[in-house]
Chains A and B, each alone.
Chain A
Amino acid sequence: MSAKSGRDTILGSIRQSLGRPALSADAKRDLDEHITKHRSNLVPARGKGEHGELVERFQEMAKAASCTVAIIPDEAGVPAAVADYLRANNLPTQVTLASDDWLTGLDWDSQSLLETKQGKAGIDDLVSVTPAFAAVAETGTLVALSGANHPTTLNFVPDYHVVALRKSQIVGAYEDVWAKLRKANKQGRGFTMPRTVNMITGPSRTADIALTIELGAHGPRSLHIVLVDDETDGETNGETG
């Protein structure tokens, strides 16, 4: 062990190469302001627009990324939509649900053939159903936050991943998600990040064998979005970005 820590050595070497000492308090304040203001850089035009347009774009982009999408008029229909999906894909009827309040508040008993359990994913779990925190029109991307009722493993371990999303959760650009996250997790003057923010665009894939794209490399083989139309008559009850 040298007397000087790795930290001091590296910071010292950076300053020596840049030909200056550590930044002055004023300079640091300016840079801290850059961080605190976290201004958006250029946001592409496709990440902006009327909410209806963004909902359309989200679906188009998600499908282009190999997602399947089923639109239902009412959240009460989510369990039936999940049962339909299992039937159409010849899948067993056991599903693992995120123990999210909204999701578990739905009437899963209405589907007599469906067996549900809650919690994190085990190695043998084949199908998971989770909610999302938001979805991004720009690239058809779903955003999930980890938490007590939102285990990360449900997004990656099962072969089939079903996400129940409400239209009002769709925003235009990634920047809209950061704004929503800062608001939802506000703490004091800043905000807390969850352990994991997952941005998911389509099912798992690889091109590592002879550059041929194959779905289902290590994560889900299939990603199905049940999109709840909670905005009938053009009214929105969520953020529109």
Chain B
Amino acid sequence: MALATLAGKVRAMAIEFMKPGAFKENAATAMADPDLRIAMKMLNDGMIPNRQGAVDKLPEFEKLSQRGRELKDHVLGNLDFYLERFERNCKAAGGKVHWCSTPEDARLAILKICQSVDAKSVTKGKSMIAEEIHLNGFLEKNDIEPVETDLGEYIIQLAEEPPSHIIGPAIHKTKDQVSDLFLKHHAKLGRTERQTEPPKMVNEAREILRQKYFDADVGITGANYLIAETGSSIIVTNEGNGDLTQTLPKIHIVVASLEKVVPTLEDATTFLRLLARSATGQEFSAYTTISTGARRDDDVDGPGEYHVVLLDNGRSAMLGSEVQDMLRCIRCGACMNHCPVYQSVGGHTYGTVYVGPMGAVLSPALLGVSDTKHLPCASTLCGRCEEVCPVSIPLPRLLRQWRQRSFEAGDLPSLERWGLSTWAFFAKRPWLYGAGAQLAMRGLAYLGRKKGRVQKLWFAGGWTDGRDLPAPEGQTFQERWRKQQRGRKLS
């Protein structure tokens, strides 16, 4: 319990630091948090084999992925056309489209709709765009209660924290932390027993949220896709909260960014085959729902109004630029699940709404590279993110591009600039580089001669504090390569 309290304090500090500029401080705090280690290990042990299992079961996965990539590129090249068609067909089905350049435009459009029915309470399905425009705080300021209904979002709303993962917003929380949180917030509702078993905890949240769905005036969801052909939006969920959210209130508002549009139902289908497998390792999520317009005259349930709030927020400017490929992203989260840096520091360290490799590429485009310069550096460029991306976004290349931009803009601290310049000096003089590498390899081999590993190394405490450095055999790669090539010629 004492440990949990300490961890709670550590996290409260981390949240205070929540800004991209504080990445290094946040990372140090996160690495020292024992609860986060537990949570991240579960992510690593669960998500990676789950995804691989689902991909292995579908022999056509690679081909679908290739097709998905082509489709997204086709849409991005004709984005104006498909958005116009989407709007036309959405209107024809009785919906309304609100074009919003900035988060502020989007917030105001949503507020206006809520005020049209004098809304007091708004239920929300999980939406990253709603996070991006910081909708909850804004609604609260305007005396409208936002109720998060996705269990993960509900947990972090109680904890007053931002999401730490685009699919599992509360993935950083251990079971014990959720137990404490529920007891703290549910006691006043008469739930005074601390539940410790996940089935009972899930049930408690279910029972508490049930009435809220029926009481809400407006339901807000995101959209995984918008379909130009039919003017529809699609949500993909597992809990059923999104469907209750969009069916029971008087108004359904969809918040979506521009690049979510796809031409036809068939095209959306290709992405549906990629999404759940990449995200959670499921063959298909429990609920895939296509919504078109408001309830029809003879329908007995469903919302009386259907609004789509379309957000740009810098995306149109990404078209035609070197980071356009990022707009292919289908928000599956596979890149962060497989990222060794994300697994070590968790999502909050990034200090941005979007985290992990996709966040480190997208955030500089949305927020500017100066404020987010640490994020593209938070990567070992190991390439796993690109390998598992279902739409082949070259994340390592894009990260390098942001690094270069940030270097050119003079945003890097002088020590890093000096380090890079020194490295460049050697790299441009191969003979000097080779000699330096030989010296270093022999030195390291000497240091680790007894145990085969180096336990402490000056200037590299960040590495050796946590683990040993395997000692090299004493030769550089170049030396071994030359030797092997000679051997080949002789044989």
Using CB atoms and an 8 Å cutoff, list the residues of chain A in contact with chain B: 5-7, 9-11, 13-15, 17-19, 22-23, 27-28, 31-32, 34-35, 38-42, 44-46, 61, 64-65, 119-121, 123, 139-141, 146-148, 151-153, 155-157, 174-175, 178, 192-212, 214, 216-220
Using CB atoms and an 8 Å cutoff, list the residues of chain B in contact with chain A: 39, 42-43, 46-47, 58-60, 63-64, 67, 71, 77-85, 87, 93, 98-101, 105, 149-152, 155, 168-171, 173-175, 178, 198-199, 201-203, 206, 209-211, 214, 228-230, 232, 238-241, 243-244, 247-248, 258, 263-267, 269-270, 272-273, 280, 283-296, 298-302, 310, 312, 316-321
Q: A209: which of B99, B202, B272, B283 is its contact (CB, 8 Å)?
A: B202
Q: How many A-B residue pairs have CB under 8 A?
A: 263
Docked Cα-Cα span, A229 to B299, in Å, equals 30
Residues of A within 8 A of B283 (CB): 61, 64-65, 139-140, 201
CB <8 Å contact, B289 and A197? yes
Docked Cα-Cα span, A88 to B320, in Å, equals 61
Residues of B within 8 A of A34 (CB): 263-264
Docked Cα-Cα span, A45 to B57, in Å, equals 12
Return B425 CB to nearest CB of chain A, in Å. Answer: 38
CB <8 Å contact, B284 and A201? yes
CB <8 Å contact, A210 and B39? yes
Q: Closest residue of chain B to A191, judged by CB? A: B230
Given A45-B59, A209-B175, A218-B240, do A10 and B202 touch, yes or no (CB 8 Å)?
no
CB <8 Å contact, B270 and A123? no
Can you pick out 15 interface pairs between chain A and chain B where the beta carbons lie within 8 Å of each other?
A: A6-B98, A6-B99, A10-B312, A18-B80, A23-B78, A38-B263, A42-B63, A148-B296, A174-B269, A208-B150, A209-B173, A211-B168, A214-B199, A217-B238, A220-B240
CB <8 Å contact, A19 and B320? yes
Q: Closest residue of chain B to A119, judged by CB? A: B300
Residues of A within 8 A of B270 (CB): 41-42
CB <8 Å contact, B210 and A123? yes
Return A57 CB to nearest CB of chain B, in Å. Answer: 12
Q: B243: which of A5, A147, A156 is its contact (CB, 8 Å)?
A: A156
Return B399 CB to nearest CB of chain A, in Å. Answer: 21
CB <8 Å contact, A214 and B198? yes
Q: Closest residue of chain B to A173, judged by CB? A: B269
CB <8 Å contact, A198 and B67? no
Residues of A within 8 A of B263 (CB): 31, 34-35, 38
For the A-B complex with A10-B101, A17-B321, A42-B64 known, give 4 more contacts whose Cβ atoms are closer than 8 Å.
A17-B318, A141-B284, A204-B240, A217-B241
Residues of B within 8 A of A216 (CB): 202-203, 206
User: Which 9 pairs across A and B sit closest by C-beta, in order of nearness?
Assistant: A219-B240, A217-B239, A6-B99, A17-B319, A208-B152, A13-B316, A148-B298, A208-B151, A193-B292
Residues of B within 8 A of A151 (CB): 299-301
Given A14-B80, A194-B292, do A44 and B238 touch, yes or no (CB 8 Å)?
no
Given A175-B269, A201-B286, do A17 and B202 touch, yes or no (CB 8 Å)?
no
CB <8 Å contact, A156 and B240? yes
Docked Cα-Cα span, A65 to B284, in Å, equals 9
Docked Cα-Cα span, A210 to B46, in Å, equals 10
